[in-house]
Chains A and B, each alone.
Chain A
Amino acid sequence: MGSVEEKMKPVMLKAVQLVVGFEKGSPLNQVPLNFSLPQKGLVALTGTNGSGKTTLLRSLLGEKTLLSGNWFWDGISIPVQKWSAGNLSKHIAYLPQEPLYESTQTVQDHWRLASKVRSFRFDLQNLASELGLSLNQRLGEMSSGQRQRAFLGRVLLQPCQLMILDEPTNHLDTELKQDIWRTLKQLSQGQLIWLATHDTENVTSYCDEMISLSSTI
């Protein structure tokens, strides 16, 4: 079941009759999902564990998790789940729930990977200071909270129209959580940020919209 608060905003992304699940597996939602996402704003995706949040997000990223239905991006006729990597990288940035990383990489090396998409002249040092990190620290030598901040930094460095985040405030203490929510809120004025989260308190404070999934019975 899906419940969506409709607002009068230009639509960027539309979900049509989505049924998510794993290939050859049983569907995670009984009723096909239909909703739209606006061009700008902070949208939350909530639901209990196992309700299919990550699976739904991944269906936008070329993973074969759509059993039926399509995603439509405004103005592009090819459904998003069929986009090439080149096309995806122009529009979407993604942070998974437990990101993989190379433990010998420094923060700087990790952030440099985002430059594969396009050249960016962000001041790395600035971003590092804002996130409370040192560019030369190695990912393997950090606490999980610091690492999560480094991962967020990588995504923040990627200019995109849609930022998809899966549990971005994982491992962060309350104060830092607030910082991140505030930053995301600010960024969402220029782009769409869609995040899956358990943090229902902050959802009500910061998000413009919420999409809620409930698991199948």
Chain B
Amino acid sequence: MRGDRLMRDSRVLVIGAGLAGLAAAVEIAGAGLPVLVVDQAQAPGGAVHRQPLPGVRSIASGMQRRRWTRLMAQINAQAERIEIRCNTRFGGMDYTGDALLTGDGRALMQPRALVLATGARERVQPRPGWTLPCVTTAGAIQAELKTTAHPPYGRVLLAGSGPLLLAVAAELVRLGRAPVAVIEAGHPFSHPLSALRLPASYLIEAAGYLLRVKAAGVPVLTGAHVLAITPSADGLVVRVNTPRGDRSFGADRIGLHDGIAPNDAGLPVDGPVPVLRLGDCREALGARAALADGRAGGGRLAAQLLGRAAPDPSADLDLQRQAQRRLGAIYAHDGLTRLSDLPSDTVLCRCENRTLADLRALGSNPGARGLRLDGRFGMGPCQGRFCAEWVGRLSTPAGLPLPHIGSNRWPSRPIPISDLVDPSAEGLEP
């Protein structure tokens, strides 16, 4: 069937030039193996260390800048073994071990091993109006701030749950665009004792954000939920349910965020060569854990490939895991139970424009196949990243395992057909 087998490449392919991917690259290259790191963004950094555009002043903290400078110095020390290609997308790896890259670094190659360090995705619960223009993830606002150091136009409102909301709010204050409100579903300030058991670095960071936001007079509503976002003559109107009754806010830009989860849709689980997931793409524990996991995983992979005894079996992530658990408890809220109270015309699947009513029409417990084939949930180009979790919860009776409606096979992202078929001049031939 296949007359066009590829030569095995001597390089380890690392997907994602964030903390985990680069830390792994340093370890693998340090063991003497060549590494190709690709990233879909214009520059390395990932979500945490997203770099400012040329000429733009970084808004990163001193601690963040020091961490990044250190890591890049380690990369540069191994420059002859590490190649970083940006603006390059990973289409997937098939069962034969062929990996497809498109964009600037386009290639069809057979890497010696595959390291997946694609980071996290933001969880965003469906809400009426969450598909309107100017409603984005809070992470999208943060990415804009990091690259351009320009706050978004007009009145910004942040809503959902988790430490990121206050972090973005604090950045906005610092850039002179205090948000009109932060709508937090949890009650993070009602657990001072639990909070004190967080690692000191978490506490110092969070306290700094909170002080800055409060000092700017930004209302931080806790135990509060966005009921609906509607367009108005001058922007958007956000209706918010608070423990003291409903309120409305006008806004021009809304950032939603309900936590993070591994960004692992369409990624291979295994293959004919070693496949390793590292950092938030394996377990969403944040930046500190990603760096440690990347280092340990890179070292482990290098030892495996060179037939050496494995070093320390894995990074000690227990501290970060514990911290994430405590954060989860501090921010605990009943938002998930509100899913089933959403108006029936609320869009669940953004790609295929499928609503809660469409989901209910499938009957009780339709299962993964029914959800996909009959409901078309998880069938759009985002590969279920933004609907699978909620559709799974809403369609499954309590106590039963959630159906897996996302994809675990390539493509991990849509692949333009012209990228697949274009001739050798474009570099796809071995």
Question: Do A and B actually bind?
Answer: no
